[in-house]
């Protein structure tokens, strides 16, 4: 482990694959939508590989249908997922300790998941009140990897980019943080293997959230 860094003045977290393991519930909802349109179920890893770019992308990629049916498939998925979003979803080991570690600083979630479902997940896991701001993929005009959501958080928190920290599990997180000038910690618990994350050159790559307790002691 490299030398301890000064604690950031504010922290931005991704949600799926970073704070919570939600892949089983996402896959179940996606497969219910596939079944609705007479498509066979996909294995968890096939769905997991497509998570992170937003629900529209997920459904478009994994429920291939004619354009006339695409919106119906998306709405079916969103309704199905919202209903059962907390059946298997759990907070990752170390996440609560990390949130407590950074308590007193402004904390935010920036996810590409629709805001209403992100709220349901965070409230259901007793995490909602820990964050000063939560942005979903539909909160602003653009989503990650565009830096707009990260810059929006920085502006609302009056936080210099260099004194913030972004923690995420995907290429979109790294690219959004880099474009916004924010230091980035990429965690391998989510959608991308270590080699893919390292190729994006984040500030650090870690295998478990609790490594942050030492890295930013």
Tokens of 132: 């000063």
Edge-to-edge strand list for the sheet holding 184-187 = 133-135, 107-110, 10-13, 164-168, 184-187, 204-206
Q: Where are the alpha helices (DSSP H) in 37-113?
A: 44-48, 55-62, 67-83, 95-101
Residue 138: active-site member: no
Task: Measure the N-to-C terminal CA separation of the chain; round to a whole number of Å.
Answer: 12
Give me the count of residues in the chain: 217
Spot the catalytic one: 14, 16, 169, 173.
Answer: 14
Cα 49 from chain centre: 13
Q: Which are the catalytic amino acids?
A: 14
């Amino acid at each position: 482990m490299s030398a301890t860094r000064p604690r950031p003045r504010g922290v931005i977290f991704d949600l799926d694959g970073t704070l919570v393991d939600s892949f089983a519930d996402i896959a179940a909802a996606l497969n219910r939508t596939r079944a609705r349109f007479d498509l066979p179920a996909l294995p968890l890893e096939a769905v997991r590989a497509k998570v992170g770019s937003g629900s529209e992308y997920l459904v478009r990629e994994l429920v291939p249908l004619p354009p006339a049916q695409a919106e119906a498939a998306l709405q079916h998925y969103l309704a199905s997922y919202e209903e059962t979003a907390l059946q298997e979803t759990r907070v990752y080991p170390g996440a609560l300790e990390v949130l407590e570690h950074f308590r007193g600083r402004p904390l935010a979630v920036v996810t590409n998941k629709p805001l209403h479902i992100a709220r349901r997940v965070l409230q259901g896991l007793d995490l909602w009140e820990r964050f000063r701001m939560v942005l979903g993929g539909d909160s602003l005009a653009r989503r990650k990897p565009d830096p707009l959501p990260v810059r929006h958080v920085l502006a609302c928190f009056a936080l210099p980019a260099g004194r913030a920290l972004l923690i995420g599990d995907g290429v979109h997180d790294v690219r959004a943080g880099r474009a916004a000038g924010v230091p980035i910690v990429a965690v391998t618990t989510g959608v991308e293997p270590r080699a893919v994350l390292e190729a994006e050159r984040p500030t650090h790559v870690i295998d478990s959230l609790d490594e942050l307790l030492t890295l930013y002691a």
